[in-house]
Amino acid sequence: MQIVISAVGVLITCWLIAIKTYICVRKGLIDILDEITEYEGRIMDSNNEPIKRMYLRKASFCNNMCRGQAFVQIICAIAMYYLGIVGDQQLIAYNRANNSTIDSYYWYQFWFPGYKLDHMVWIYTLNLMFGWSACSANVVCHSIIGTLMIFAAAQLQVLNLQLRSFIAEGDDVKRKTAELKTYVRQHQSLISYVSRLNKEIRIIVLMHFMLNSIEIATGVTGLLKDIPVTHVIFLLTYINLTSYQLIMTAWNANEILDQSTSIGDALYASHWRLLNKEGKMICLIMIQRSQKPLTVTIGPFGPMTNQSALMVIKAAYSYISIMNTGN
């Protein structure tokens, strides 16, 4: 029964990774990384030092986020592989003594053209290849999605900084009105970008919102039992990885929402009173448009925010209580 449960868990995880990989590759999300490189070049070539510093902070945050996720994923994979080798020895001894072929629930369940006990090097090598492929795909997909979300938030913050200081005393009003129109087009482009991004990744956000609470609850329940140290290390790293990816997604989605709604505040904080009638009307329309926040949604449901991540943690606590009832 434990083998069946383990195999189902691995199957679900592999399907999730496959869906994320399909969306990143087939939906063209990887191609957007070229746009990020071009945009970053324009920012670095500009003379606006506050925008440069802000963008570099965002880029540093993105790099640290991806490195942190990769580090936790690698530790989790190493712990799982070591746990498989150590925990497999008793089962191997039992199989040899009883001439049976019971598979370990630590490993992938797959058909092998031969007696597995006579080819353990191949079994371990294949499991290492499968595990490394899954871990790499998971890290890459989450890093791409996280980068695209941070890029959206960074562009919105750049627009906020530009709008706050786009006009000053003594500026040519007509020229500044024309400049304001370029910011309007930039805002429209950002709305399209976030809408497209949300359309492609909302199914991924929904899957994680539904499953992360169960994964965290299952891991914590395992920690409450009398288990070996290697198993504890694996469960701790797995819980940290799941929580890290959840918080990463929720935080970045919340940043997009906050930065999109602050565009109206940035415009109002500028010297918009110096504009002519056309410029003031453009400001009014832009402020009204910013009242509808840009969001990354949980599938067809509400927006993903920091509160959504807290809901997942609360649900995990409820599951833990149910799983340990009567123990």
pLDDT attached to residue 149: 92
Weakest mean pLDDT among 57-66, 94-103, 134-143, 267-276: 94-103
Question: Which class for 60: exposed (0-12), middle (13-18), buried (19 or more C-beta within 10 A)?
Answer: exposed
- In this predicted structure, what is the pLDDT of residue 187? 92
First-to-last C-alpha distance (Å) of the chain: 20
Quick: pLDDT tens for 228-240: 776 777 788 888 8
* pLDDT tier at 192, thresholds 50, 70, 90: very high
**Average pLDDT of the residues in 240-245:** 86
Rounded Cα gap, residues 244 and 89, in angstroms? 32
Q: How far apart are CA 318 and CA 312, in angstroms?
A: 10
280-305 burial code (b ≥16 CB/10 A, e <16): eebbeebbeebeebbbbbbeeeebbb
* Percent over 70 (pLDDT), the chain: 88
Is residue 187 within 8 A of residue 84, CB to CB? The reply is no
Q: How high is the pLDDT of residue 155? A: 92
Tens-place pLDDT, residues 162-190: 998 888 888 888 898 998 999 999 999 99
Q: pLDDT confidence of 100, banded at 50, 70, 90? A: low
Q: Please compute the mean of the pLDDT values over residues 125-141 and round it to a whole number.
A: 83
Is residue 283 pLDDT above 80, yes or no? yes
Domain span at residue 104 reads: 2-323
| Confidence class for position 102, pLDDT limits 50, 70, 90 | low
- 297 three-state secondary structure: strand
DSSP assignment of 250-290, as one string? HHHHHHHHHHHHHHHHHHHHS-GGGS-HHHHHHHHHHHHHH
Query: What pLDDT does 105 receive?
Result: 60
pTM of the model: 0.85
Calpha distance 58→63 (Å, rounded): 9
Query: What pLDDT was estimated at residue 256?
Result: 94
pLDDT at 107: 66
**In the structure, what pLDDT confidence band is assigned to residue 1 with cuts at 50, 70 and 90?**
very low
pLDDT tens profile 26-46: 877 888 888 888 888 888 888
Residue 94 has pLDDT above 80, yes or no: no
Given this model, what pLDDT does residue 251 score? 92
| % residues pLDDT > 90 (the chain) | 20
Q: Which of 294, 10, 247 is nearest to 142 (CA)?
A: 247
Res. 258 pLDDT band, cuts 50 70 90:
very high
Torsion of CA 284, 287, 289, 293, to 10 degrees: -170
Tally of domains within the chain: 1
pLDDT at 7 over 70: no
- The mean pLDDT of the chain is 83
